[in-house]
């Protein structure tokens, strides 16, 4: 046989080996599932996500997946309830307040243990809260008014005293309870030392504990044997990172993951074609925000301070069309500034108070207000003589912002307003917001289940270096904001919060363009999931509470053995041997050639 023939034969053999091995993907695992040992194998639920758990340390929480990791492992004193995210029993069975709402007494469950067997007591709760406050972890400490103290008369009682009336425990305070016996050694440490501390395996009180973390790859959570609630159906949960949406969809399709997290609307058509995939469109917890600059930090277009102009803009924007084109099937038209996920607090504006989409009426409104069309088709401000040309940056960290900007520009052109859309990075957007160097912008807002934070960013004192978009100031709004902070009756507070949402809607300091859905999907032939948080259209994954995920279990008859596509160990060994054989063959042949050369 000629050498070329031998080469081809060898390569062919390699291909055959690869083909044979590849044609039995997951062979090793398949063998497991057929064996009697399969039933004893750990049940693993695989979750694919597009955001990493960069740091498993609770004090460094940042990404959405890191929040999910916290909810899998830690408990709050009162948690977000399944119905409407209002406070519900968790570590505490309930909290009672004094008449002046300055003292709260929470009663904890007895017999709760950490995953390492140590008892969880009220001292852990007091330590956790104090640690967050003293170390300046503002994500968790913001729920405690300055000067709040905690005492623990016994192991199951926490007394929370505040110098000012507070509804803190019943917001509920979004602060987790950590083990004092783990974190007390960091009392003298800096926040940098604390956030860089190695915490795996995590000592947890929740249903799972992180037992391994491979940065940038996957994170394994193992069932906490001491969990105080109902034991979950899965022994392990593995989060696997996919850095792009397409890869995650392919992983769901080939069964590499059971649940896909943090999907975006662009993959909906591909997912909806798959009969073994159930798509969960989560009621929106954020909104696309078109904000106007009122000149508090830097001059914007003066005409935008005129309510008629802002109203005309709101009337000229076809939100339904934006939703259909930019977020097809995965958003709802926006309206008020408390996101729909906060079901109890979100206001749907009554029809008789709604500003309708009506470009003709918008044109008429601008005509009446004296904004006449110039020769170039652009309206002119009667006071300043300035044409209505809006500089509108759109931030790249807001999904669909560029598309929204282009559509808004098209809508406003029809009422004689020119919009110059400027795509910018989120960093640049922050600079623009702080310098007031814009006329209007498109960014996003999210928030807590409780509306206090979201409402706060529209108060007058959030101008300057604060969070206010464009320094809108309204005394009535400020008064209402203060009132809702000290109104602890839910119904009475809800009435004030509704009034505030309606006020912002009427005054149009911002246009709430759209409420995009978060999207999750799961293989319905691998896992059955009954609940959502909040019910019935909330999250499966533990963004706010682990309850929905705890309802997940393998379908009847499914052995739920872990599987992964690819060649088996034996196939790789065989392929390795073939490659080694080829190398040896070529080396020997090369030596023979050199001998030939020497002889020549």
Partner 1 sequence: MRLRYVARKVGWSLLTLLFVLSANFFLFRILPGDPLALLARSQRLAPSALAKQRAIFGLDQPLPSQFVTYLHETLTGNLGVSIISGQDVASLVASRIWPTVLLVGIGTGLAAVIGVLVGIRGGWNRGSGFDRGTLYGSLVLYSAPEAWLGMLLLIAFAGTLGWFPAGGYSSGTTTGLGQVADVANHLVLPVVTLALGYVGQFVIVMRSSMLEVKEAPYVEVARAKGLSERAVRRGHVVPNAFLPSFTLIVLSVGFILGGAIVIETVFSWPGLGLLTYQAIQDQDYPVLEAVFLLSSAAVVLANLVADLAYGYLDPRIDEV
> Which parts of 125-243 are beta strand (E)?
149-154, 157-161, 208-214, 218-223, 236-241
For 333, the 3-state DSSP assignment is strand
Nearer Cβ to partner 1 (246/506): 246
Report how far residue 103's alpha carbon sits from residue 106's, in angstroms, rounded to the nearest whole number.
10
Pick the closest to residue 288 from 265, 261, 312 (CA basis): 265
Non-local CB neighbours of 25 within 8 Å, separated by 6+ positions:
565, 566, 567
- CB 518, CB 539: distance < 8 Å: yes
For the bound state, the minimum distance from the C-beta of residue 20 to partner 1, rounded and expressed in Å, comes to 12
Pick the closest to residue 204 from 184, 231, 222, 230 (CA basis): 222
Q: From residue 65, give the alpha-carbon distance in Å to each of 70, 262, 266, 543.
A: 9, 9, 20, 8
Pick the closest to residue 71 from 43, 93, 90 (CA basis): 90
Nearer Cβ to partner 1 (370/464): 464
**Residue 161 CB-density burial (10 A; 0-12 exposed, 13-18 middle, 19+ buried):** middle
Nearer Cβ to partner 1 (402/537): 402
Pick the closest to residue 381 from 372, 390, 391 (CA basis): 372
Nearer Cβ to partner 1 (255/329): 255
Nearer Cβ to partner 1 (27/307): 27
For the bound state, the minimum distance from the C-beta of residue 530 to partner 1, rounded and expressed in Å, comes to 26
Nearer Cβ to partner 1 (492/573): 573
| DSSP one-letter code for 216 | T
- CB 172, CB 80: distance < 8 Å: yes
For the bound state, the minimum distance from the C-beta of residue 327 to partner 1, rounded and expressed in Å, comes to 19
Nearer Cβ to partner 1 (182/349): 182
For the bound state, the minimum distance from the C-beta of residue 423 to partner 1, rounded and expressed in Å, comes to 13
Q: How far is CA 289 from the centre of its chain?
A: 17
For the bound state, the minimum distance from the C-beta of residue 387 to partner 1, rounded and expressed in Å, comes to 28
Nearer Cβ to partner 1 (104/176): 176
For the bound state, the minimum distance from the C-beta of residue 444 to partner 1, rounded and expressed in Å, comes to 7
Nearer Cβ to partner 1 (236/281): 236
Pick the closest to residue 44 from 205, 202, 208 (CA basis): 208
For the bound state, the minimum distance from the C-beta of residue 316 to partner 1, rounded and expressed in Å, comes to 27
Cβ neighbours, 10 Å, residue 262: 20
For the bound state, the minimum distance from the C-beta of residue 71 to partner 1, rounded and expressed in Å, comes to 16
For the bound state, the minimum distance from the C-beta of residue 213 to partner 1, rounded and expressed in Å, comes to 10
Can you state the angle between helices 401-413 and 307-316, rounded to 10 degrees?
110
Cβ neighbours, 10 Å, residue 405: 26
Nearer Cβ to partner 1 (367/402): 402
Nearer Cβ to partner 1 (125/424): 424
- CB 403, CB 326: distance < 8 Å: yes
Non-local CB neighbours of 244 within 8 Å, separated by 6+ positions:
50
Pick the closest to residue 344 from 79, 85, 537, 545 (CA basis): 85
- CB 337, CB 499: distance < 8 Å: no
Nearer Cβ to partner 1 (139/159): 139
DSSP for 376-425 reads: TS-BB-TTT--B-EEEEEEETTSTTHHHHHHHHHHHHHTTT-EEEEEEE-
Which residue has tokens 């392919």?
250
For 97, the 3-state DSSP assignment is strand
508: left (phi over 0), alpha (psi -120 to 50) or beta: left
For the bound state, the minimum distance from the C-beta of residue 256 to partner 1, rounded and expressed in Å, comes to 5
Strand partners, 154: 157
For the bound state, the minimum distance from the C-beta of residue 449 to partner 1, rounded and expressed in Å, comes to 12
For the bound state, the minimum distance from the C-beta of residue 54 to partner 1, rounded and expressed in Å, comes to 3
Strand partners, 282: 518
Q: From residue 5, give the alpha-carbon distance in Å to each of 14, 117, 579.
A: 14, 67, 17
Nearer Cβ to partner 1 (282/366): 282
Phi then psi for residue 39, to 5 deg, are: -65, -25
For the bound state, the minimum distance from the C-beta of residue 175 to partner 1, rounded and expressed in Å, comes to 14
Nearer Cβ to partner 1 (74/140): 140
For the bound state, the minimum distance from the C-beta of residue 448 to partner 1, rounded and expressed in Å, comes to 7
Nearer Cβ to partner 1 (46/311): 46
For 441, the 3-state DSSP assignment is strand
- CB 326, CB 407: distance < 8 Å: yes
- CB 91, CB 120: distance < 8 Å: yes
For the bound state, the minimum distance from the C-beta of residue 241 to partner 1, rounded and expressed in Å, comes to 6
């Amino acid at each position: 046989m000629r050498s070329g023939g031998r080469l081809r034969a060898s390569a062919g053999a390699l291909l055959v080996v690869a083909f044979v091995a590849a044609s039995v993907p997951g062979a090793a695992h398949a063998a497991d599932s057929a064996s009697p040992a399969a039933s004893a194998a750990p049940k693993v639920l695989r979750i694919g996500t597009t955001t990493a758990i960069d740091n498993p340390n609770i004090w460094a929480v940042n990404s959405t997946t890191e929040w999910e990791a916290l909810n899998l492992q830690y408990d709050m004193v009162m948690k977000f309830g399944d119905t409407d995210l209002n406070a519900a029993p968790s570590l505490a069975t309930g909290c009672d307040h004094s008449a002046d709402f300055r003292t709260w007494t929470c009663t904890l469950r007895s017999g709760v243990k950490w995953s390492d067997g140590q008892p969880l007591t009220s001292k852990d709760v007091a330590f956790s809260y104090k640690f967050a406050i003293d170390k300046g972890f503002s994500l968790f400490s913001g729920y405690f008014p300055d000067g709040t103290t905690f005492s623990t008369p016994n192991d199951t009682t926490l007394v929370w005293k505040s110098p000012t009336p507070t509804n803190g425990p019943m917001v509920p305070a979004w602060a987790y309870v950590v083990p004092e016996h783990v974190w007390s050694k960091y009392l003298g440490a800096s926040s940098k030392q604390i956030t860089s501390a190695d915490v795996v395996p995590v000592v947890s009180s929740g249903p799972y504990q992180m037992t391994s973390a491979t940065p940038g790859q996957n994170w394994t959570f193992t069932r906490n044997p001491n969990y105080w609630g109902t034991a979950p159906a899965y022994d392990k949960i593995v989060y696997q990172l996919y850095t792009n949406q397409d890869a995650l969809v392919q992983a769901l399709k080939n069964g590499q993951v059971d649940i896909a997290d943090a999907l975006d609307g662009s993959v909906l058509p591909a997912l909806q074609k798959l009969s073994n995939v159930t798509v969960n469109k989560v009621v929106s917890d954020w909104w696309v925000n078109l904000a106007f600059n009122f000149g508090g930090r830097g001059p914007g277009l003066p005409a935008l301070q005129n309510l008629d102009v802002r109203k005309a803009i709101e009337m000229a924007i076809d939100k339904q069309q934006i939703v259909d084109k930019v977020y097809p099937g995965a958003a709802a038209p926006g309206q008020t500034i408390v996101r729909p996920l906060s079901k109890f607090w979100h206001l749907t504006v009554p029809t008789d108070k709604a500003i309708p989409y009506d470009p003709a009426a918008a044109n008429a409104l601008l005509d009446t207000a004296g904004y006449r069309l110039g020769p170039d088709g652009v309206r002119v401000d009667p006071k300043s003589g300035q044409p209505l040309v809006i500089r509108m940056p759109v931030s790249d960290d807001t999904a669909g912002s560029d598309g929204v900007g282009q559509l808004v520009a098209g809508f406003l052109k029809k009422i004689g307003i020119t919009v110059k859309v400027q795509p910018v990075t989120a960093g640049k957007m922050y600079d623009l917001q702080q310098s007031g160097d814009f006329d209007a912008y498109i960014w996003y807002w999210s928030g807590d289940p409780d509306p206090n934070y979201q409402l706060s960013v529209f108060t007058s004192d959030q101008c300057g270096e604060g969070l206010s978009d464009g320094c809108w100031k309204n005394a009535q709004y400020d008064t209402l904001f203060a009132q809702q902070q000290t109104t602890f009756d839910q119904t009475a507070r809800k009435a004030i919060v509704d009034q505030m949402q309606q006020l912002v809607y009427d005054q149009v300091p911002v246009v709430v363009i759209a409420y995009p859905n978060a999207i999750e999907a799961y293989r319905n032939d691998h896992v059955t999931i009954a609940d959502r948080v909040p019910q019935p259209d909330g999250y499966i994954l533990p963004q706010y509470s682990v309850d929905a995920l705890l309802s997940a279990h393998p379908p009847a008859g499914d052995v739920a053995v872990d599987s992964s596509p690819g060649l088996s160990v034996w196939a790789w060994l065989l392929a390795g041997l073939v490659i080694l054989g080829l190398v040896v063959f070529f080396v020997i042949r090369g030596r023979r050639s050199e001998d030939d050369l020497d002889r020549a």
